Structure 1
Amino acid sequence: MVQDLPNYAQHTVPIFSLPQEWLWCESWCGNATKSKAKTIDLCNNPMTKEPKLQGARRIVAEWPDLDLEARKFTARILGDDLEPIQSPDQSKDSTND
């Protein structure tokens, strides 16, 4: 992305735009194009102030299963017990993730 290039390099490094499906974001892309998305940007939506993890659960259907798999793996590697996951109702009261 253009904003990721250091300022001094942006005039010497060729920049090519990717089609929209390579970076879908709820803030500026419609739900009609979500099914074709190759990557999903879980950016903060300034209109809703929704915490990122809460948005991830809502936007990405597979998120709860993937999150649980990652949490189990991390707990196993660290030798920790798996902490219970907050329900979406509980996370509304927490601060932004």
Structure 2
Amino acid sequence: MTGLTGSGPAYVLYILEIICSIFEKQGFNKKMSRDLSIELFDGTINTCKNDDRSLEVIKKSIVSKKGTTESALRSMKKDGLQKILNKAVGSAIKKASKIGS
């Protein structure tokens, strides 16, 4: 549990840092990049909190066929983002079990 819930905020923050750096590469200054990144996450979390549909259904409601979001998600899937996250969290869970024993 610790490998996911205890370490989870750091995973989210790492992804937030990556999104922030992408905003910066697009020409936004550091403060604006940080603000836009946080607002992106905050808005998404609020949508999920206020919508009883599954996360997958909410995601599908955002994705347009042959659009930019679909292209990005396809790239993430092709590059193995889920596998990377599964491996990282698995490593944390394994470490937590060693610490606990």
TM-score (norm. length: structure 2): 0.28
Bigger Rg, which one? 1
Q: Which structure: greater strand fraction?
A: 1
Q: Which of the pair has the greater relative contact order for Cα pairs under 8 Å at 6+ separation?
A: 2
TM-score (norm. length: structure 1): 0.29
Q: Which structure: greater helix fraction?
A: 2
